[in-house]
Amino acid sequence: MNPEVKVEIHENVIEITLDRPPANAITNSVSRAIHAALKTLQDDDSLQCGIITGGSGRIFCAGWDLKELAAMESNEAALADSLDCPGGFAGITEYWDLYKPVIAAVNGIAVGGGFEIALACDLILCREDSEFFFPEMQRGFLPDVGGIQHLPRKLPYNVAMELLYTGRRMDAEEARRWGLVHEILPESGLLPRARELAETIAQGAPLALQALKEVAPRISEMPIRDAFAATKPGNPDLPIYQNMLRSEDFMEGGRAFSEKRKPVWKGK
């Protein structure tokens, strides 16, 4: 257990809170603790959705703890270990086998790696005073653990490139205008809304939730005919989706609707 990463379970939702004031900066041990919590989400059949948020304060997450990195500059083994955490940076940016949805509840500034954590999530909610920016260009490197990979896919290309080149701060309203942020909430309403949304998502069929997360990124860049072809029975490249098509739950939803009752999901 890492006291800087608080993990709570509310029925079928896991809530992960970064609690490293004042900036919730990410260290090697914090990355590993976040990954461990997300692995619990993936492996525990009773859990269907996750939330990542920051502790109290103005900063959701300021990215890598640069002091820790600087201290390891002369220790190549320690530096390599720090940069090779399970699931990538913050335990999430390269967690390719995480097939359950995660909501980012951004309660303040998401800078650098903090912005990359949010981009790695499936939905972003934010506080009214939230800001998103990548200052890496002005520090001599690139936001290459999610920023340069995700941002041009989630924003118009020229908007993404301007943000990456300049390090300009994007406020909550602009982020919502471009569709990056799903909702903007007052401070008192952010976490309750994230929990409400997570609980609604968690009511979905477990296999269908995972199948959606498997399928959507694979087909989003395909020509439309190829996307239709990929989502046919028998495609071995989408095993969760194929498992869903053959599952008991695939029939349970229709039965429950016709019998006017809530579905009883088995996850198989």
Confirm if 113 and 145 have CB atoms less than 8 A apart: yes
What string of H, E and C letters represents the secondary structure of 86-146?
CCCHHHCCCCCCCCCCEEEEECCEEECHHHHHHHHCCEEEEECCCEEECCHHHHCCCCCCC
Catalytic residues, by residue number, are: 116, 136
Q: Tell me the C-alpha distance between 232 and 215, whole Å.
A: 11
Question: For residue 56, what are its two tokens?
Answer: 């109290």
Percent helix / strand / coil, the chain, rounded to 5 = 45, 15, 40
In whole angstroms, give the CA distance from residue 32 to residue 75.
20
